[in-house]
Structures are given as C-alpha cells and as structure tokens.
Amino acid sequence: MSPFVVPVPAPSYGLERQAIIDLSAIANNIRHLRALAAPAKFMAVVKADAYGHGMIQVARTAVAAGAQWLGTAHVSEGLALRAAGLEAPVLSWLHTQDTDFTAAVANEIDLGCSGWELERIVAAARELQRPARIHLKIDTGLGRNGCSRENWPALVAAALKYQAQGLLRVVGVFSHLAVADEPQRPETDEQLERFREAVAVAEAAGAQLEVRHIANTPATLSRPDSHFDMVRVGLGIYGLSPFEDHSSAELGLTPAMTLQTQIALCKDVPTGQGVSYGLNFISEAATTLGLVPVGYADGIPRIATGGPVRVNGVTYPVVGRIAMDQMVIDLGPDACAAFDGGSALGATAVLFGNGTDGGPVVEQWAAAAGTVNYEIVTRISPRVPRRYVGGAE
Ligand SMILES: *Cc1c(COP(=O)(O)O)cnc(C)c1O
C-alpha cells in the first residue's frame, strides 16, 4: 500500500444543510388517509426514494402505521424494499425489456402488466417453477401505461390461460387517473366507468380478483367512489396537498419534510449592488444580503428566484439567480440589528417546513418554479443529508 494513502474520514455534513424528515407526521398522515379510505386497503407509494423522503425509512413507518401494501414504479425499488427486510406485499408497475422479472418473482413482488410483460413474467415463473402474481393494468384514459380497451379481452384471456397452467395468479386489475387533482373535471367519471367495465370483463372471463385499484392521493381525498378494494397514496402520506385550492392543513395533513441550512455569509451592501450570475438583481438602496448555501445541485430549481427563506421568524425572498451551490436573500436595510450578535451569520435558514409556524411551505417553491409540490420534494438531491425525527427507532 502506498505510504501516501491516509485514511480519509467519512464526510460529516453535520447540520450544514439537511432535509429533516418527520416520520411521526408521515405515520399520522397515513392513519388519517387510511381512515378516509377504509374499508379499502392502503398502499403507501414509496417510489423515487419515497418522493425524496427516504424509501426504507418511510416504508417501515408506513407499515407500522397500518399500510397493508407498498408500491413502487420500478422492480429495482421493490427489490430494495425486500433487501431491507420489508415483507409487506409490494407492487411494481413500470417495466422495460431489461427489467429483472425473475428477481421480482423470486422476491414475491407483484407485477403490473400492461401487455408485453406477460410473456416475460411467465418465462420467469417457468424458470423458478413458482407462479407470478400480476395486476393487469387497463388504460382508462391517461394514455400512458396500461392495456388499450381494444386489447383488454385478449390480455385477460392470455393471463387466465397461464393462470390455469399454474404459472401465474391474476391478483388485481388497476388503472391510473389523469385529472383527479381537478375534481370538477368530467374525465374522472369516464375513467371510473371504463375501469368498472374492464373489471367486469376480467371477472366475466373468470378472474377472481383480490384487489381492484385506481385511486391516487387526490381521488382518495375527493372521490370515495374511486376507492374500490385499495387506494394507492403517494403525495398525501408526505403531507402535501394535490389540490391548488386546498392546503395540507385543510386536508388534515402535515408536511413531513423541512429543508434547512444556515446563513453562510451576511454583509451590508450599498445601493447598486448586483447579485449573482447575470446581475439580474441590483439593490435599490443600501441593504444586507444573506448567503444561503443551497442551490440547484441540492435540488432547488434555478428558475425559482423569489422563493421564500425564513430566518429568525421572518421570510425573505431569494434575489438574483439561484446558482449551483447557493442563493442570496435580501435581509433588508440594517438587518443585522434583528439578529443576536448583530449578524445573521450562522442563523438557521428554512426554505420550507410544515408551515404550522407560518413559515414557508413547499407550494411556494413550486409556484416560484412553475411546477408542483411533488417535483420540489422529489428532486431534493442526495447531496442534502436526510435526518429522521419522530420515528420509533
Ligand atoms: C405515483 C403513482 C401513484 C401515487 O400518486 P399520488 O398522486 O402521489 O398519490 C399511484 N399510482 C401510480 C400508478 C403511480 O405511478
């Protein structure tokens, strides 16, 4: 070994920047949503690292809070749940030609099937000599995954033929809604009607379904007639609202993620000070700038100038461009007087939290970025350490 190689300590990010994940909030959100959905079963959707909240910790919390099922997009995500020791039923629904169906069947992961996957799943079942569990997916109008209505009877027949051969079990029929976040739109009614028809076709052909499911978070909240045997809830378990005109609190939910850092530099600047790349902001008077050491590499969209940052109980807008690692807030003239010790240096800077203290919330960042709350939390990058609070462990 080279004498020049010295052990490098594991990086310790300390509290420099962190996404604090409140597992008790997630547990409470699940209990609340479960009660709304009952007697339907509850699937906690934990894809995409649980919308940025940490898949394994959230999955454990969800099961402890009574979620009977876990849902992921990818089989690889389902396998990670199994590797972490989670034994609850898992459904994974978005596959490619390279998806490892054999590993999925071996690990008792239920598979969504829109058509072409059927032969591949059957091949895996043959190889393992054990039946696969599948949920047939019907496209009721979303136009993404799912079998067309034309091909549905043929898919059902093919699946039931393999079921009769002992190669698989058709456990469920499911679909996904397109506009449930806009409850006044008529297309959800059409989708539910097509879903009932597809279920009827499958049952008439002899399928004995354990679970019929179509509801996501907005449908779980606004359409009891969409609950069927199970609801699949993502956004809501993280405490976020899927509706433009209803806050988390109005829905009885508590946002689980707080994103915070600390002010890295605080300085007084004169009139005419330009700020950040492009110098898009020029101070109109002498003021105090606070440097917030979080940027688009941490997952805050570059476009989100104007987004809120709370320091010492006051919320300030981001001025100038958001850069890779940092952004700047305008603390106002003589701001230092507002801080103990005369400087905001080191003060906690909260980009968003649960909003109960009147502090900033994810939706304000979504508005500043022209996107939805889903995208803001999901894209908080791995550079931001997650810190778990409120959990059993
Ligand atoms: C992501 C996803 C969900 C969860 O949607 P939310 O709106 O976050 O509740 C449910 N079903 C499918 C098929 C999904 O892809």
pLDDT digits 0-9 by tens, 66-81: 999 999 999 999 999 9
Catalytic residue chosen out of the listed positions 41, 47, 162, 296: 47
d(CA 264, CA 199) in angstroms, rounded, equals: 58
Phi/psi for 260 (5° steps) reads -145, 160
Report H helices in 165-262.
187-204, 217-222
d(CA 279, CA 259) in angstroms, rounded, equals: 26
Candidates 241, 198, 239; CA nearest to 222 is 241
d(CA 34, CA 40) in angstroms, rounded, equals: 8
Atom of ligand 1 nearest to the CA of 216: 9
pLDDT band at 393; cut points 50, 70, 90: very low
pLDDT in tens, 243-288: 999 999 999 999 999 999 999 999 999 999 999 999 999 999 999 9
- Checking if the pLDDT of 331 tops 50, the result is yes
The radius of gyration of the chain from alpha carbons, rounded to an integer in Å, stands at 24
Per-residue pLDDT at 335: 75
Amino acid at 48: A
Helix (H) or strand (E) holding 62: helix 55-64
Atom of ligand 1 nearest to the CA of 45: 4
- Stretch 25-36: mean pLDDT, rounded? 98
Query: For a pocket test of ligand 1, which of 41, 43, 45 has the largest count of ligand atoms closer than 8 A to its C-beta?
Result: 45
Per-residue pLDDT at 339: 73
d(CA 211, CA 207) in angstroms, rounded, equals: 11
Per-residue pLDDT at 8: 55
Rounded distance from Cα 234 to ligand 1 centre (Å): 6
Atom of ligand 1 nearest to the CA of 236: 9
- For the Cβ of 33 lying below 6 angstroms from any atom of ligand 1, the answer is no
From residue 214, how far is each of 78, 219, 317, 322 by CA, in Å?
Answer: 20, 8, 40, 39
Residue labelled with tokens 């310790």? 12
Supply the residue whose CA is at minimum distance from atom 13 of ligand 1: 176
Residue labelled with tokens 């508005």? 367
41-45 and 69-72 as β-strands: parallel, antiparallel, unpaired? parallel
pLDDT in tens, 96-131: 999 999 999 999 999 999 999 999 999 999 999 999
Which two three-digit tokens encode residue 225? Answer: 């007639």
pLDDT in tens, 189-229: 999 999 999 999 999 999 999 999 999 999 999 999 999 99
- For the Cβ of 176 lying below 6 angstroms from any atom of ligand 1, the answer is yes
Per-residue pLDDT at 333: 86
Domains in the chain, please, with CATH? 39-239 (3.20.20.10), 257-389 (2.40.37.10)
Query: For a pocket test of ligand 1, which of 34, 181, 216, 374 has the largest count of ligand atoms closer than 8 A to its C-beta?
Result: 216
Residue 277 annotated in active site:
yes
Residue 47 annotated in active site:
yes
